[in-house]
Amino acid sequence: MFTPQDPGVRIMSLFRHAVFETSVAKPINLPPASAAGPEIAFAGRSNAGKSSAINTLAGHTRLAFVSKTPGRTQLINFFRLPSGACMVDLPGYGYAAVPEAVRKQWRGLLEHYLTRRENLVGLVLIMDSRRPLTDLDVQMIHWFVPTGNPIHILLTKADKLSRQEATLTLRQVREAIAVYGGQVTVQLFSSLKKSGIKEAESVIGAWLEEEDETEEDETSGKEKPPAKGERAGGKLP
């Protein structure tokens, strides 16, 4: 029988009962990393299906609606999970009608958050399965890879592809990210069909499990395995 402490149960219910906590416009307003708990960031081109994916994972039809309300689209939105971890919804990028000044602010906020946030355990990158790996998606990967933390790509709207097209797209993206070793992974996802949820939860759940183990080692005084950033050639400044 499962107990609530079982990793299987924790992973299956990872995103359920998420609650909106706060929105942040400037790096200086980010909650202190030391007190914030582990964070999992969600990023993607605007309209790729990020809000729908967050809602689907959370089993909540309007959770990420908050990030769609006027004035909030350029903010980082935090949703607290029952485990104490946070889902962090980053502003969508690539929206053509955005003035240059706003684009610059977006860039600064995202780059700062992705490259320097100490309690960030991984990045979920949402891409429309019909247009994966655009230049800005690749930019996000390049910002994040030096941290040594994992990236998991959700190829959303997979329901819009035939089975054959979906298999081909998955294979092409896998080939393109092979250069990052196992640090970047990919799967198909559909919010409409509710497919790919278990796979996403098990990948992201494993990041949090690994984080728990590292923390336990630190508190028990055991010799620490190399920090994630060290594996990839040193922490960022």
Could you give the CA distance from residue 10 to residue 14 in angstroms, rounded to a whole number? 6
* Residues forming the site for ligand GDP (CB under 6 A): 44, 46-52, 92, 156-157, 159-160, 190-192
Question: Residue 47 or residue 167: which is nearer to ligand GDP going by CB?
Answer: 47
Beta-carbon contacts of 219 under 8 Å, excluding residues fewer than 6 positions away, are: none
Give the shortest CB-67-to-ligand GDP separation in angstroms.
7
Report which DSSP code applies to 158.
G
Cα dist from 181 to 109, 143, 204, whole Å? 28, 16, 18
Q: How far is the CB of 82 from ligand GDP (least distance, A)?
A: 23
Nearer to ligand GDP, 48 or 177 (CB): 48
Q: How far is the CB of 39 from ligand GDP (least distance, A)?
A: 19
Q: Which is nearer to ligand GDP, 23 or 83 (CB)?
A: 23
Buried b (16+ CB within 10 A) or exposed e, 79-90: bbbebebbbbbb
Angle between helices 135-144 and 100-116 (to 10 degrees): 30
Q: Is 213 exposed, middle or buried (0-12, 13-18, 19+ CB in 10 A)?
A: exposed
- Whether residue 117 contacts residue 140, with contact meaning beta carbons closer than 8 Å, is answered with no
User: How near is the Cβ of 224 to ligand GDP at its closest, in Å?
Assistant: 37
Least distance CB 152 / ligand GDP (angstroms)? 16
Q: Which of 95/180 has CB closer to ligand GDP?
A: 95
C-beta of 187 vs 214, nearer to ligand GDP: 187
Minimum Å distance from CB 131 to ligand GDP? Answer: 12
Q: Tell me the three state secondary structure of residue 223.
A: coil
Q: Which residue lies nearer to ligand GDP by CB, 92 or 148?
A: 92
